[in-house]
A and B are shown apart, each in its own frame.
Chain A
Amino acid sequence: MIDELRKAAIQAALNIFETMFFTFLELVEAPKSPESSEGLPDETSDTFLLTEIPFKGDLDGALRLFLPFSLGESLAMNFLGFDDEVTEPQLLDMASELSNMICGNLFSHYDKTAVYVLGSPITEKLSYSEALTRLKNSDIDMEFETEGQKLTLQLHIVPNIEKG
């Protein structure tokens, strides 16, 4: 199950970044130690965006996406087709929509027959230390690189004995 979810999430992320953000992601293949900060977005960026979207279905849980604020700005400009600076509310809204698209898309890759209900995504601005705290304890971690910066995608699955 974990491998299938991971593959579906990677496929969804690559597809969405290319189609809607005109940005090519490269998957970073590196096992992550739970005690290390590996997998954290690029620490040279001092502010990060964390967006989280809950889901319910055959599996319950949440998808989280971490990315440097500066990368978010660049993505938002690509997404909106703006040459000027994007506003912070537009940036947060873009990050929420990005996580929404990845989450919905990954479940349609994972299991087309099941119905997954997505909650409302919430996006926050975080410092490096806050991002480090939030990054721990996930079931599936994926790290990508683009434009010389790292972004991390996580899936948290809530154990549910009744659902098997």
Chain B
Amino acid sequence: MAYNVLIVDDSQTMRKVILKSLTLSGFDMGDYFEAGNGEEALKVLNSQWVDLILTDLNMPVMNGMELIQKLKENPTFQGIPVVLITTEGSEKRLQELFDLGVKEYIQKPFHPETLRDVLTRIMENSHD
């Protein structure tokens, strides 16, 4: 089964790198969508079917934490698995994000294989 993926990052370059990593990793990806911040991500979600969201934390307009809170409040979107891809590694901040429902956390820098393993595990568990 191919999964539709939404990548949310204010760096266009980083979005390209994540896409490249997904392609190289062999993850079973269907359609690919991108957004530069949380607000843009919500617009994409209102018009496209998305199975998985990969989001950065620090972004202008609407950051990753605000996006996750919005998703949690919305019955249509609250079941979509969210993976955080960020440079941050604070245990306190990560616990707050896990409490909000973030499924997994990948710290930059990362290898494509790490990305594939985490995403495959999440999508397999999402069918349980």
Contact = CB atoms under 8 A, between A and B. Distances in A.
Interface of A: 15-16, 19-20, 76, 79-81, 90, 93-94, 96-97, 100-101, 103-105, 107-109, 112-118, 120
B87 A20 contact: no
Given A113-B91, A113-B92, A120-B60, A108 B14 contact: no
B54 to A, nearest CB: 15
A105 B93 CA distance: 14
B90 A19 contact: no
Contacts of B107: 105, 108
A101 B17 contact: no
Contacts of B111: 19
A105 B13 contact: no
Given A20-B109, A101-B109, A120-B60, A108 B13 contact: no
Interface in B44-93: 58, 60, 86-93
Contacts of A104: 86-89, 108
Nearest to A114: B90
9 closest Cβ pairs, A-B complex: A104-B87, A108-B89, A19-B109, A93-B13, A20-B109, A115-B90, A97-B11, A16-B109, A94-B13
Contacts of A114: 90, 92
Contact of B17 (A79, A115, A120): A79
B98 interface: no
Contacts of A116: 88, 90
Contacts of A15: 109
18 contacts: A19-B111, A20-B108, A20-B109, A79-B13, A80-B16, A80-B17, A93-B13, A93-B14, A97-B11, A100-B58, A101-B108, A101-B109, A104-B88, A105-B87, A112-B89, A114-B92, A115-B90, A120-B58
Interface residues of B, number: 23
A123 to B, nearest CB: 11
A26 to B, nearest CB: 18
A105 B89 contact: yes
A115 B109 contact: no
A97 B109 CA distance: 11
Interface in B90-117: 90-93, 107-111
A54 B107 CA distance: 19
A100 B86 CA distance: 9
B12 interface: yes
A93 B17 contact: no
Interface in B13-63: 13-14, 16-17, 20, 58, 60
